[in-house]
Amino acid sequence: MRSNWKSSLGFVLATSGAAVGLGNIQRFPYIVSEAGGAGFVFIYLLCVLLIGVPLVLVEFSIGRHTQRNPVCAIERIRPGSRWKWVGGLGILTAFCILSYYSVIAGWTIGYIVQMLTGKVEDIHAFSADPLKVMGYMLLFVGIVMAVVRKGIHKGIERWSKILMPILAVLLVGLIVQALTLPNAWEGVKYYLDPDFSEITGRTVLLALGQAFFSLCVGEAVLVTYGSYAGRSENLIRSGVSIAIFDTAIAFLAGLVIFPALFAFGKAPAQGVGLTFAVLPDVFLQMPGGSVFGALFFVLLAFAAITTGIALLEIPVIYFVDSKKWSRNKAVWIVGIASVILSIPSALSHGASKGLTELDFGIAEFKGFYNIMDFVWGNLAMVITGGLLAVFTGWVWGAKNAADELSIGSNFKHLKPIWIGLVKYVIPVAILLILLGIFIV
């Protein structure tokens, strides 16, 4: 018998835990800095509202209706069709994201140690040390594997209820501290005062990719977590609550990072190491900052772990459902495979010159990690999300999906709008955005 969430709060916080992680606190600020600041933030919020939230509901409807993993879910709705490979792409996307996500997640554990010892190493030196990076990455994956082995109740749901609210409270405290720093409001202006002349097709693609990455759209997480939802669950309320909580955390993270950047006179564009280059300086200016900083990185690590759990759960539950593997066997095989694929990403921040400077000419991204992030954290997620919208709108039928969403919720007034977005607006918007990267 398939497991279900024990409560609506557990479902919302567990799914928020999957969504809230490095994508919000580490990835969002550095993508903002690379994509033009406030103009990107404006486009990102539009993408969340008009595309992200409707697609959250698309995946929830597929998952709860079928109570299966993404491949089996689509197979159950449309037996014998090739659409099941869209579910397969989502599973592969989750697995590949886990491989490079684990690297940065490992950094969070390393910075816990550094803050406690008071010996904070420059991020570039730290990330170029293969023994440290690989060691912390292995520790992260080991923790994630241990939790996933326990299933959804004793692992995912229990920890999400404790850690997500604490993380939000800590972020608010950090904002207060950051805004009191000298020249902090210049950072706020950079963050919130948009210059629309800097918006390009690439900006829109990155904003859409970040919305997908942050909300876990297009990587099969929401189909899977939706499959654990009970029939009485209000999917509309839960989906909107998750999107609000997730977007708020990302927005608040920016109010910590950018005021601190300008206060310390650092350039905004510092790549994936942005959070690790700035936050330690903020903490060290506080009374007892090393302890507070260590606590922040502990919670950031746990936020990363809740997302890592979701990313590992997706391929694991596929093998459990489809291949009848035991959960233990699936966790070990998928976990080890993820570690192997993580190695090039771990070495591509200075440890290996070839991997660090690798250039396939893909949208100006250089380095194995950055290429993986663009291909899987942007393109693959957007493509999968778009195909799921087409499948739901035109193959399963948007009305059938809307009827599923109406169970346990009042969807009467929003139903026509949602159907129009899923059938027409979202597929066309995603197609135009993808085409835009080849002509910008």
Which DSSP letter does residue 21 get? S
Q: CA dihedral defined by 163, 329, 89, 44, rounded to 10 degrees? A: 10
Two tokens, residue 168: 């939000």
Closest CA to 142 of 342, 426, 317: 342
At residue 436, the pLDDT reads 62
The arithmetic mean of pLDDT across residues 102-121, rounded, is 91
413 burial (CB, 10 Å; 0-12 / 13-18 / 19+) is exposed
* pLDDT(21) > 80: no
* pLDDT(406) > 90: yes
At residue 37, the pLDDT reads 75
At residue 32, the pLDDT reads 80
* pLDDT(267) > 90: no
At residue 59, the pLDDT reads 95
The arithmetic mean of pLDDT across residues 258-275, rounded, is 73
366 burial (CB, 10 Å; 0-12 / 13-18 / 19+) is middle
Q: What is the pTM of this model?
A: 0.87
What is the rounded distance in angstroms from the CA atom of residue 122 to the CA atom of residue 307? 26
What is the rounded distance in angstroms from the CA atom of residue 189 to the CA atom of residue 414? 35
Which backbone phi and psi does 287 adopt, to 5 degrees?
Answer: -65, 130
Q: What is the DSSP string of 354-382?
A: HHHS----BTTB-SHHHHHHHIIIIIIHH
Closest CA to 430 of 154, 205, 104: 205
The single residue listed with the structure tokens 């018998």 is 1
Two tokens, residue 235: 């999917």
**How high is the mean pLDDT of the chain?**
86
Beta bridge partners of 362: 365
pLDDT-derived band at 431, boundaries 50, 70, 90 = confident
pLDDT-derived band at 362, boundaries 50, 70, 90 = low
What is the rounded distance in angstroms from the CA atom of residue 34 to the CA atom of residue 331? 36
CB 346 within 8 A of CB 368: no
* pLDDT(259) > 90: no
* pLDDT(1) > 60: no
What is the rounded distance in angstroms from the CA atom of residue 253 to the CA atom of residue 289? 18
At residue 235, the pLDDT reads 93
Instruction: Provide the sign of the torsion angle of the four alpha carbons 291, 294, 300, 305, taken in this order.
Output: negative
Residue 220 region by backbone torsions, left for phi larger than 0, else alpha for psi between -120 and 50, else beta = left
pLDDT-derived band at 363, boundaries 50, 70, 90 = low
CB 103 within 8 A of CB 272: no
Q: Which residues contact 123 (CB under 8 A, 6 or more apart)?
A: 107, 273, 276, 277
What is the rounded distance in angstroms from the CA atom of residue 280 to the CA atom of residue 270? 15
Which DSSP letter does residue 7 get? S
Q: Which residues contact 385 (CB under 8 A, 6 or more apart)?
A: 51, 55, 212, 217, 218, 426, 430
CB 405 within 8 A of CB 236: yes
pLDDT-derived band at 378, boundaries 50, 70, 90 = confident
235 burial (CB, 10 Å; 0-12 / 13-18 / 19+) is buried
What is the rounded distance in angstroms from the CA atom of residue 212 to the CA atom of residue 220? 11
At residue 155, the pLDDT reads 58
CATH of domain 8-439: 1.10.4160.10
pLDDT-derived band at 283, boundaries 50, 70, 90 = confident
Q: How many residues in the chain?
A: 440
Which DSSP letter does residue 408 get? T
Two tokens, residue 177: 């501290």
The single residue listed with the structure tokens 């936020």 is 303
Which DSSP letter does residue 286 get? S
At residue 437, the pLDDT reads 59
Q: What confidence tens digit (pLDDT) does each residue in 187-219 have?
A: 888 888 777 776 777 778 778 878 877 888 888
